Amino acid sequence: MLKLHHAPNSRAGRIVWLLEELGLPYEINRMAFSPKDLKSDQHRARHPLGRVPVLEDGEVMIYESGAIVEYIIARHTDGALKPAVDSPEFPMYLQWFHYCEGMVMPPVNTIVVQTLLLPPDRRDATVLSQAQKLLTRAWEPVETALAGKEYLISRFSAADVMLGHAAFMSRRLGCVPETMPNLLGYISRIEARTAFQRGINT
């Protein structure tokens, strides 16, 4: 059975959501989002930097949420949640799948550090403001791409697991303005999915 090493309010939520969407059996090792658990010798043996998610599948141990998503789809489905490589939608699927970590999550990480992880006396208002503006700008191409569409391609896909989770997190951080109705509607559709609700509350 698949085993996911998980901490709340992290990218690991994407993997629980994916597993729920696919209906795959899994177990979870829930850890606190704190150095005591994540930086322990036991967890560093799974991930040398003490991060989550980490997936165990028999003898396989793999980290990085995007890699885990691709691994699960390739090893444990018959191509679910992913267009065929010869599909006209495949290039856009790849683009949005990787846009998440390339363009969206770097400023998200900075915002989380500047608002939650650093003590108040070490926070930098200029760095925070720059990251917030960068994050909002990063959503502008997605707002355009979602015009007249429910999801990033013609159907719900693993790209939505990646980018939809990031959109949800960005909204919670206050970086999705009301001037982006397509993105706001997309986030609402993501939040309404039963599998997402199970994943985000795990």
pLDDT value of residue 202: 76
CATH topology of domain 90-200: Glutathione S-transferase Yfyf (Class Pi); Chain A, domain 2 (1.20.1050)
CA pair distance 160, 167, nearest whole angstrom: 9
CATH topology of domain 2-76: Glutaredoxin (3.40.30)
pLDDT value of residue 42: 96
Cis peptide upstream of residue 53 (ω within 30 degrees of 0)? yes
Q: Give me the long-range contacts of 40-47 (CB less than 8 A, separation at least 24).
A: 43/5, 46/5, 47/5
Residues 6+ apart with CB under 8 A from 192: none
pLDDT value of residue 13: 94
Per-residue pLDDT of the chain (202 residues; tens, 9 = 90+): 999 999 988 999 999 999 999 999 999 999 998 899 999 999 999 999 999 999 999 999 999 999 999 999 999 999 999 999 999 999 999 999 999 999 999 999 999 999 988 999 999 999 999 999 999 999 999 999 999 999 999 999 999 999 999 999 999 999 999 999 999 999 999 999 999 999 888 7
Domain spans of the chain? 2-76, 90-200
pLDDT value of residue 56: 98
pLDDT value of residue 135: 96
Q: For residue 147, which phi and psi values (nearest 5 degrees)?
A: -60, 120
